Structure 1
Amino acid sequence: MADKIDEIFASWGAGRNVLLYGPPATGKTRLISQLFQSLQKPPDGSRGILFDPSDAASPFSRPTQPITIPLPAKVVWTTFHQSYGYEDFVLSLRPTMDSEGTRLEPWAGVFLDAALELADEDSEYESVVIFIDEVNRGNAARIFGEFMTFLDFDYRDGGSVPLPVPLRQLTFADGASEELHRPGGASTTIPDGFTFPRHVYVVATMNSVDRAAVPIDSALARRFDRIEMRPDLDALASHWRLNAPAIPTPTEDNWETLGPFETAYLVLDRLNVVIASDLGSEFELGHGLLTPIPATATAADGSEQPIAEADAWRSLSKTWDDVLFPQLEDRYSGRPEQLMELLHVDTAPPTGDYAWTLRASKSGTAEARALAPVRTSELPFDTIKRSFRWLAR
């Protein structure tokens, strides 16, 4: 993840917007939230920012890539959803009442207000950055409307073909629009022939798995540089203070000796390899799903101590029950045989109890090829260890 912010600045410098995409829990929202905070209070100097979440003391460092947007920058955060519309993002007409009756007054949304901010001679900002989380949770084509054109820097002020901003909802007279309300209580007018300012930048995130989301159409997608966010096993190794190259490959001889963090690392690695083969890499499980498993605990004296091994196993089993397995059920909906094969149901350990088994009927006459429901965190300690170690193979 450490080089992603650098890539974002490089895209902005080339006059491109940025779309971070990938499975859930790969750090997309966390990355842009860190960038949001850093631009609110930018460090001294003009070189870019690298973010390393494993370095708690100094998570930010300086790469060679310069910050490619003018500072200071105004930052705006918004999240798309199914009820989010053009009226929230670009322009709305809201009713107001006075002594003369009811009339509609124009209000600027997030995107248009960014342009108005840079057109204001009294503004302290040189650029505006709009952060859009879950861009495909709303109907992005409808939300942007005709303003989709101005995602392309060529059609902005200073571009190769600057175009006037279409504001047909507004009334113009004497070369200026009617009064337009802005967020925060300010108001302004827009000159006829107004062109969209150059230094408005967009960075968005997109979940590549969510079936309820609206697909991004090609006209919108081509106006973004795509940066893939993939599951990062190295981030887990750092989180758990593991030496990743030293983690053994599970074999018949060593699988019963694996520790809880090694096991969790190997389980995620194996699951993602199988998922990528079965369903495609966009359906893999993000490393963030396992970060709730702590490597340390706070002792009575306030110091950080390594977590007890038994507590680590219990934490792994609870995270499996509450987070990981529901994700697997969703991905393998309608594919029970593939899920059972993934869980080694038919190839359980030769001795001892195993967490994942076939459902049995008390009548003894019904044959079942269905997974028996189980909460691994409620199983005996030895069964938990044996089951997850075997699953890592």
Structure 2
Amino acid sequence: MNIRNAIAEFDRAALAETLAAAEEQRQQVLKLFPLEEWPSLPLSRYALGLGADGDDVTYCRLLEFNTPALGSISGGSAIKHMIYRHNSGEWRLAANLRGMDVEDAWVRLRGEFAAALEAVGRGDFSVLDDLPVLQSGQALATKTLSVYYPDQFLPIASGSHLRAFVQALGGTPERNAPAWRVNRHLRDIVAADPELAQWHPIEVMHFLYSEFDPRPEKRTVWKIAPGRNASFWDECLSGGYICVEWDEVGDLAQYTSDTELKFALDSYWPRTAGGNLVKARNLLAYRDLQPGDRVVANLGMTHILAIGTVTEGYRFDESRALAKHVVPVAWDTRYEQDLPEPQRAWVPTFAKVSEQLFSQFLRMGDLAESEALEVPVPEDVSQLLAVLDRKKQAILHGPPGTGKTRLALSAALAVDGRAASIDTPDRGSAIAKMLADGRIQLVTFHPSYGYEDFVEGYKPVHDAAATGLRLALTDGLFHDLCTAAAKDRDHVYLLIIDEINRGDLPRIFGELITLLESDKRGIEVQLSISKRRFAVPANVRIIGTMNTADRSVSHLDAAIRRRFGFVYVGPDPDALSGAIGPLELSAFLTSLNGRIAECLDTDHQIGHAYLLCDSEPLATDEELFTAYYHDIVPLLEDYCVGRAELLRQILGGLVDQDTGRPAQVAVQDLASALAAEFLAGGEAS
């Protein structure tokens, strides 16, 4: 990117209203919380969980929710404020304040805020690094400094974003520096630029996010129902937001984990305890939506009401009678449409929308946005490719049925320039063509696989000049791949090793283990059999897959572990959004896996693929019956190896008390029986 052209083309005039809003919000902060009042500011005027919208708004609520034009610190839990009151009435403190009385903790935190503001006022920025409590709330502290001293700090508070911007503008960000120090570094770079130095800090912020946005390009798109039968849609559309219920749990910002929120959901809705972990995870994802994220509002399984773009972060609106969890959204009703077929995954309030499906929605809207639309690489594939870029080889590990091999092949399609086929009907043919081309190879390790198969060895070959066989030096699969890669440096060559842990890895790789490291690529070693010189080219990548139910990562040779990046591929309940009668599949999988983890361990959990049919969630009683009795139950019986009591702890009332065998439930009754056992607050017996 030519930054000079980007600066010249940036439309500063379009930010006139934003600049006015930012100044108005800044003046509100200065009026309500004058600089001179900080040394005596009471806790009641600072902490979340005490104030509400209006004259008694607290400082933390004002900065996180009411001053978006001054830079965002939304997302995540309220612990970033260092002190807040939980919905239960309990005070939550930052790590270096724990164990203190809340008033003593507040005196210390307030003292550090006052010291920071006073030091910056006299130009002594070194004091900031000697304030340990503020280190626990760097985003809030940095935004505070930018509000009170806009000439000294830019309105950007995220440490990771600041480091990305420093690098984008040609600087080298200091490792492990607190956000305010990186902010000062970025400000110095901006001040040294002859054009940017003349801009308002708000203009600089918008320019940087416009041109160098460090947030992931492939962010999750969510389908969110605006109430049962879209009962809140009219007000959502006119008010520019999306809202959901579960008001009883209070402000979602107070929860630091999905487990904590699940406990709150369990206390209010114990009859659905089995599915509350999924709800908790979805609610926290909803809380953490960021400006620029896309959402789809739906009515039932066949109608899109609108597609929207998040404009501000989440807030808990106490002034509303219902559906107090609110996220501001700019809606575009031009995408309203009836879908050609029902989306069975859309029964719950929340559901993830795949990149491919979202692209279809945009194309069906027949608008300009879809004309140049590119199918993005799925997020999990992007993450795996990033690991490969860093380590050169990765192992995908997790329970059986979680899609490890599928993910490896998806990454291979992306490497081979076939990313558009990752989630399309022609995926199978694209994989076949990819493997036939030779740059991508697939092999399955097994106990008898050895060095002679992988690198080189003497093997019997037919001797045309004589009768019988003779031994000949034969190159193995990896040797052939590396030889081809060395002749074609412009392309990446990839080897996928399925069931990598079933082979004797030190024996298979031999001396080549050393050459796998990125800084050893291109270095030649002498092969042990032929004595030939051999090197692993820099453009070779390896992806291995392993089921942790067979053998955990800890059992791998230490030298192997050090040279591979490890990517956990766990059960994905979001892939199962949908229901069969009363049985919500994602909640069933989560509840079942919770019991397996409690009775066995997480390595023996069940992957979502067990509840898929042709890559789609199970849809009929017959499909559920087949998956349960032919796949899931035999697997669990194998895990329990004849221990009827252990199987009973997992399946509860679905195990015959007399025989210890799984109870046989009729096809038409199985969904109800599973829902009663796993989703109605049932516990392992």
TM-score tier after normalising by the smaller chain length: 0.5 to 0.7
Which residue is equivalent to 1:331?
A: 639
Which residue is equivalent to 1:210?
A: 550
Structure 1 residues 31-110: aligned runs within 5 Å? 31-40=407-416, 42-43=417-418, 53=423, 56=424, 74-96=439-461, 97=463, 99=465, 104-110=471-477
CA-to-partner distance for each residue in 1:218-265, whole Å, 9 max, x for gaps?
A: 11111110000010000111xx3x6xxxxxxxxxxxxxxx82551x33
**1:268: how far off?**
1.5
CA-to-partner distance for each residue in 1:54-79, whole Å, 9 max, x for gaps?
A: xx5899xxxxxxxxxxxx98111111
CA distance in 1, matches of 2:470, 2:667: 69
CA distance in 2, matches of 1:196, 1:206: 23
Picking from 273, 277, 281, the partner of 2:598 is: 277
Rate the CA distance shift 1:320–1:380 in 2: closer, same or farther, 3 A: closer
Q: Is residue 137–residue 214 contact of structure 1 (8 Å, CA) maintained in 2?
A: no
Q: Is residue 511–residue 527 contact of structure 2 (8 Å, CA) maintained in 1?
A: no
**1:170: how far off?**
2.0
Amino acid in structure 2 at the alignment position of 1:139: D
Amino acid in structure 2 at the alignment position of 1:219: A
Rate the CA distance shift 1:195–1:319 in 2: closer, same or farther, 3 A: closer
**1:385: how far off?**
4.3
Which residue is equivalent to 1:247?
A: none
Which residue is equivalent to 1:344?
A: 652
Which residue is equivalent to 1:222?
A: 562
Picking from 377, 387, 390, the partner of 2:673 is: 387
Picking from 608, 613, 623, the partner of 1:292 is: 613
Instruction: Specify every segment of 5 or more residues in structure 2 that has no aligned partner in the other structure, as ranges.
Output: 1-353, 355-377, 428-436, 681-685
Provide the secondary structure at the position in 2 that maps to 1:227.
strand
CA distance in 1, matches of 2:445, 2:583: 36
Rate the CA distance shift 1:200–1:116 in 2: closer, same or farther, 3 A: same
Which residue is equivalent to 1:265?
A: 586
Amino acid in structure 2 at the alignment position of 1:324: I
2:28 equivalent to 1:28: no
Picking from 660, 665, 684, the partner of 1:371 is: 660
CA distance in 2, matches of 1:77, 1:317: 33
Which residue is equivalent to 2:574?
A: 234
2:647 equivalent to 1:358: no
Q: Is residue 129–residue 201 contact of structure 1 (8 Å, CA) maintained in 2?
A: yes
CA distance in 2, matches of 1:280, 1:215: 16
**1:35: how far off?**
2.7
TM-score with structure 1 setting the length: 0.65
RMSD: 3.4
**1:156: how far off?**
1.9
**1:105: how far off?**
2.2
2:437 equivalent to 1:115: no
Provide the secondary structure at the position in 1 that maps to 2:459.
strand
CA-to-partner distance for each residue in 1:328-362, whole Å, 9 max, x for gaps?
A: 112222542232133223xxxxxxxxx53222xxx
CA-to-partner distance for each residue in 1:162-221, whole Å, 9 max, x for gaps?
A: 3x22224226xxxxx5xxxxxxxxxxxxxxx54332211101101100269994211111
Provide the secondary structure at the position in 2 that maps to 1:343.
helix
CA distance in 1, matches of 2:403, 2:617: 21
CA distance in 2, matches of 1:103, 1:270: 59
CA distance in 2, matches of 1:126, 1:321: 46
CA distance in 2, matches of 1:325, 1:85: 35
Instruction: Specify every segment of 5 or more residues in structure 1 that has no aligned partner in the other structure, as ranges.
Output: 44-48, 60-71, 172-176, 178-192, 243-257, 298-306, 346-354, 360-369
Normalized per residue, the structure richer in helix is 2
Which residue is equivalent to 1:12?
A: 388
Structure 1 residues 86-235: aligned runs within 5 Å? 86-96=451-461, 97=463, 99=465, 104-120=471-487, 123=488, 126-157=491-522, 162=523, 164-170=524-530, 193-210=533-550, 215-235=555-575
Q: Is residue 456–residue 479 contact of structure 2 (8 Å, CA) maintained in 1?
A: yes
CA distance in 2, matches of 1:149, 1:386: 55
Q: Is residue 84–residue 143 contact of structure 1 (8 Å, CA) maintained in 2?
A: yes
Rate the CA distance shift 1:125–1:87 in 2: closer, same or farther, 3 A: farther
CA distance in 2, matches of 1:142, 1:296: 41
Identity of aligned residues (%): 30
Q: Is residue 3–residue 51 contact of structure 1 (8 Å, CA) maintained in 2?
A: no
Deviates more, 1:205-214 or 1:193-202: 205-214
Q: Is residue 293–residue 315 contact of structure 1 (8 Å, CA) maintained in 2?
A: no
CA distance in 1, matches of 2:569, 2:405: 11
